[in-house]
Copies of this chain bind each other. A is one copy, B any other.
Amino acid sequence: MSITREKIIELGESLIRSKGYNAFSYQDISSELGIKNAAVHYYFPTKENLGTSIVRTNIQRFEEMTGNMNSRGFDEWHQLETFIKIYTKSHREQKLCIVGSLGPDINTLSETTQAELRKMSEIILKWLTDTLSNGREKALFSFKEEPQLKALLIISSLIASLQLARLINKIEYKSFCMAIMEDLRPQKRGDVELDK
């Protein structure tokens, strides 16, 4: 594969996750990479094309990650920890995740990019649903909601907290993520609060 092509995808993703899809231009990419506008069009004829490729790359990356975790025998707790690390890394970079940045722009994306984004969301939701479900069966997790609903609650929290962390300084992202993990921990001893 072409190295320029890969750089365009990487930079495009970065721009989407920090400025949003409708705020970045081919100029942003070409000037940053020291090439001309038309060179970007050489690899990605249209912006829709680039957007779709970026989402596809992210789907691929996600599936590689979950595949790796399975083949390495990570248990569900470990898998969830690894998944959440994606978000803490995004937070350090002051960026959103792809779903959280493209989601609000869904109505302005082409049909194909929309479809790819929906696909990505569903893949992530399905993975987390299955992971929670399996983890609960093994007593690694404890929660009372349906796994899909719980998955949705967790994903939503992760997505929007990245957005909110850029708005409100006093947010401690780490403790936020730890609260999500803690909530799932079993042996809660009846959920009774100790007096203070």
Contact = CB atoms under 8 A, between A and B. Distances in A.
Interface residues of A, number: 48
Interface of A: 18-20, 22-23, 96, 99-101, 103-108, 117-118, 121-122, 125, 142, 144-145, 149, 152-153, 155-161, 163-164, 166-168, 171, 175-176, 179-180, 188, 190-193
Given A149-B175, A149-B176, A179-B153, A23 B105 contact: yes
Task: Tell me how many chains of this kind the complex includes.
Answer: 2
A101 B163 CA distance: 10
Contact of A152 (B166, B176, B188): B176
A149 B164 CA distance: 12
Residue from A117, A153, A168 having most chain B Cβ neighbours under 10 A: A153
Contacts of A99: 163-164, 167
Greatest chain B CB density within 10 A among A19, A20, A167, A193 is at: A167
A156 B173 CA distance: 12
B176 A153 contact: yes
Contacts of A171: 152
19 contacts: A18-B107, A19-B105, A19-B108, A20-B22, A20-B105, A20-B107, A20-B108, A103-B160, A103-B164, A104-B105, A117-B167, A118-B168, A149-B175, A153-B176, A153-B179, A153-B180, A156-B156, A156-B157, A188-B191
Nearest to A178: B149
Quick one: which of A121, A157, A175 has the most chain B CB within 10 A?
A157
Contacts of A192: 190
